[in-house]
Amino acid sequence: MKKIYNLFLILFLTQTIMAQNYKKSEPFAHTYSIVARDAETGEMGVAVQSHWFSVGSIVTYGEAGVGVVATQSFINPSYGPKGLALMKKGVPPQKALDSLLGEDEGKMFRQVAFLDVKGHVATHTGSLCIENAGHRQGDNFSVQANMMLNNTVWDAMAVAFENTAGSLSERILAAMKAAQNEKGDIRGSQSAAILIVKPTSTGNIWEDTIMDLRVEDNDNPIQELERLIKIHKAYDFMNNGDLAMEKGDTKAAETFYLEAQKLFPENLEMKFWYAINLLNNKEFKKAHPILKTIFDEDENWRELTKRLVKSKLLIISDKELKNVIEL
């Protein structure tokens, strides 16, 4: 009996020492995540949630025209940039992942998922990842989790992703919510992130990222992430409205601004630019009551309206401007 006890003690101490060695340079972020591709648009995304501060800064990686990576458990951050570099050279995800695992003495602690631009996936769940741990692959996606309260998390994520309609962000969010509905991380929740990149690179990295949102520290990070995704969609409409205004297409701008308001009706800025566009379209009767409501709430918007004339974002006569300012 003593020999058995000593054997277990040696095994425990060995694993503890190994874990401590990896923790010195590698974050200890146990979590659930998804890497996925939209078969219609080709967009690729990765999302994560954990009871760990700023998990998105260490788990999620992506590059337009290449793929996405999630690296978690006892995180080895190098899997992100190295995995993307290999896939960029045309190395299939499984071969790329196997190559990096072959160089990693701590692979038994790792959980990693690769997805490339063609939707091919590769996933590794190390034998010493803390239970409950596992992963599931499907067409154009992989879901993975470790240190979960229940072993139903990854299956629930897969089912949600496969059976949810909509954009890639909406499907990814559905998978994340499904994980949380299965109680998620045994420790609770703290941070979350989502990163979506384009299927082809423009050569300009500032244009290649479709969505990059992080919840660094929150009691309900998935709920907060859902709110941010909705706001992000609203501001996409705003950005398209701004582009339309730059081109002088005020009718298109009005449509975009109105769509933004529908998603975020309490936002004064969205109401403001919609009203400014109405002024440019000479629809004064529609614009005036909106602007009056905004001015009554915050006088600074009245001052901003005057400044827009100089920048030629508001094309209006002096008389018309006076009528607006005196609302």
How would you write the pLDDT of the chain (327 residues) with one tens digit per residue?
544 444 444 333 344 434 444 444 566 667 999 999 999 999 999 999 999 999 999 999 999 999 999 999 999 999 999 999 999 999 999 999 999 999 999 999 999 999 999 999 999 999 999 999 999 999 999 999 999 999 999 999 999 999 999 999 999 999 999 999 999 889 999 999 999 999 999 989 889 999 999 999 999 999 999 999 999 999 999 999 889 878 888 888 889 998 998 999 889 999 999 999 899 989 999 999 999 999 999 999 999 999 999 988 899 999 999 999 999
Pair of tokens at residue 121: 């996936």
Element (H, E) at 44: strand 44-50
Please give the Cα distance from 276 to 225 (Å, whole number): 31
| CB-CB contact of 226 with 173 (8 Å) | yes
Question: Residue 254: its pLDDT value, please?
Answer: 85
Please give the Cα distance from 150 to 168 (Å, whole number): 26
Please give the Cα distance from 68 to 74 (Å, whole number): 19
What lies within 8 Å, CB to CB, of 8 at 6+ separation is none
247 CB burial (10 A radius; 0-12, 13-18, 19+)? exposed
**If you ran DSSP here, which 8-state letter would residue 65 be given?**
T
| CB-CB contact of 64 with 209 (8 Å) | yes
Please give the Cα distance from 56 to 101 (Å, whole number): 22
| Model confidence, pTM | 0.86
Question: Residue 318: its pLDDT value, please?
Answer: 94
Which residue ranges form the domains of the chain, and what is each CATH number?
A: 27-219 (3.60.20.10), 235-325 (1.25.40.10)
Please give the Cα distance from 229 to 213 (Å, whole number): 8
Q: How many CB atoms lie within 10 A of CB 327?
A: 16
| CB-CB contact of 19 with 74 (8 Å) | yes
Question: Residue 140: its pLDDT value, please?
Answer: 98
